[in-house]
Amino acid sequence: MTGDTSSNTATAARRRKIGRTSLDVTALSLGTAPLGGLYHELTEDEARATIDAAWQSGLRFFDTAPHYGHTKAEHRLGDALRRYPRNEFALSTKVGRRFVPRTTPYDGSEGWAAPLPFQAIYDYTYDGIIRSFEDSQQRLGIVDIDIVLIHDIGRLTHGDKHVHYWRQLIDEGGFRALDELKQSRGVKAVGLGVNEGAVVMEMMAEYDIDCALLAGRYTLLEQTTLDDLLPECEKRDVSILLGGAFNSGILARGLDTSAHGDLKFNYGDAPKEIIERVEKLERVCREYGVALSAAAIQFPYAHKVVATVLMGARTPDEVRQNAASFATPIPPALWTSLRDEGLLHADAPVPQ
């Protein structure tokens, strides 16, 4: 890592409010799917060191979910965060899956390297959401959870069963559970955590959310949400917690496969058209002496509805590099060149 680390910390620690709530979060935040063993396992000590590095880098918002490592990430995050003053950080977790002891062998299809011996039951009912929330409190060892997100609702996850689970929110008390969490359980903001923009639009039409964790749908590689979702969020004062700024890694490393033997996009192998687009982005960044990762991590935060850029990391070095990339000066001409080459949406705001 290079540069003034105090400047990196100050940049990462800038804050924006979540929607119309009183809660604010740091510009850069830590996502914990890697701490649950996504693709590669890490030790308890490595997980704690990564969380500590995030704290030292000025990050004060941490997002987790029961799904990550089949409850492993929640345990690890809680163990680390309980050593810090509770009033100095914001915490989010997710509901929609209840975890029970595993009855069938894990087949590895979800990408967890060494998950705990539990399996998920999708449950978006009142009882399911309240139970999931209370289980998360116990795994984290932290009662006060600031943000609760409905996890992976939508057709992308559920296909033909989407309507069934959507009706659980409407007819079986799922939305009523969110109301209760805000009114009497200390939760400051509610929303959803998904990988598709369409279901966020659907949700806003049905229920008054405060925020949405959207992974991978507003990045240097993909900006179609500027046509519908982001303007609607701005109109309704709904904040975006922006995940997947590196699109599963391809914008972090570019086309360099020396350290990793494959190119990942959207949790799978990158298709040819994505590889070609990344090649063009890399070329422009090289012309201005800017790392692709720096442009990728800074770009989404230029939009006013993006309250934070959530970055997953599995090592302290990755955390510190993300903070440095977020603070790296970028010439305004780079963004102009990207727009001129058709690599940026015409309406995309850019960092100043």
pLDDT digits (tens, 9 = 90+) for 250-301: 898 888 755 555 676 776 777 788 889 999 999 999 999 999 999 999 999 9
Q: Which residues pair with 94 in a beta bridge?
A: 149
> Is the pLDDT at 129 greater than 50, yes or no?
yes
* pLDDT at site 6: 84
Q: What is the DSSP string of 246-299?
A: TGGGHHHHTT--SSSSS-EETTEEPPHHHHHHHHHHHHHHHHTT--HHHHHHHT
Residues designated catalytic: 63, 68, 94
* pLDDT at site 270: 77
Q: What is the pLDDT of residues 62-90, one digit of tens each?
A: 999 999 999 999 999 999 999 999 999 99
* pLDDT at site 16: 98
Number of CB atoms found within 10 A of residue 168's CB: 20
pTM of this structure:
0.95
Coil, strand or helix at 194: strand
- In the chain, where the domains are located: 5-340
Question: What's the CA gap between 225 and 228, in Å, rounded?
Answer: 6
* pLDDT at site 22: 96
Pick the range with the lowest mean pLDDT from 38-52, 249-263, 265-279, 301-315.
249-263
Nearest residue to 16 (alpha-carbon basis) of 217, 215, 300: 300
Q: What is the DSSP string of 299-335?
A: TGGGSTTEEEEEEE-SSHHHHHHHHHHHH----HHHH
Question: What's the CA gap between 267 and 50, in Å, rounded?
Answer: 22
Please compute the mean of the pLDDT values over residues 234-263 and round it to a whole number: 83
Question: What's the CA gap between 208 and 305, in Å, rounded?
Answer: 16
* pLDDT at site 255: 82
> Is the pLDDT at 122 greater than 50, yes or no?
yes
For residue 147, CA distances in Å to 21, 89, 90, 94, 326 come to 11, 12, 8, 8, 24
CB contact set of 250 (below 8 Å; sequence gap of 6+) = 221, 263, 264, 265, 270, 274, 275, 278
* pLDDT at site 287: 97
Q: Which residues pair with 31 in a beta bridge?
A: 63, 312
Pick the range with the lowest mean pLDDT from 53-57, 141-145, 264-268, 285-289.
264-268
> Is the pLDDT at 3 greater than 70, yes or no?
no
Q: Which CATH superfamily is domain 5-340 in?
A: NADP-dependent oxidoreductase domain (3.20.20.100)
- The enclosing H or E element of 15 equals strand 15-17
Please give the mean pLDDT across all residues of the chain: 95
Q: Read off the pLDDT band of 171 (50, 70, 90).
A: very high
Question: What's the CA gap between 188 and 54, in Å, rounded?
Answer: 23
Confirm if 279 and 250 have CB atoms less than 8 A apart.
Answer: no
Length of the chain: 352
Residue 88 carries which DSSP code? G
For residue 287, CA distances in Å to 155, 269, 277, 326, 335 come to 41, 27, 16, 19, 12
* pLDDT at site 1: 44
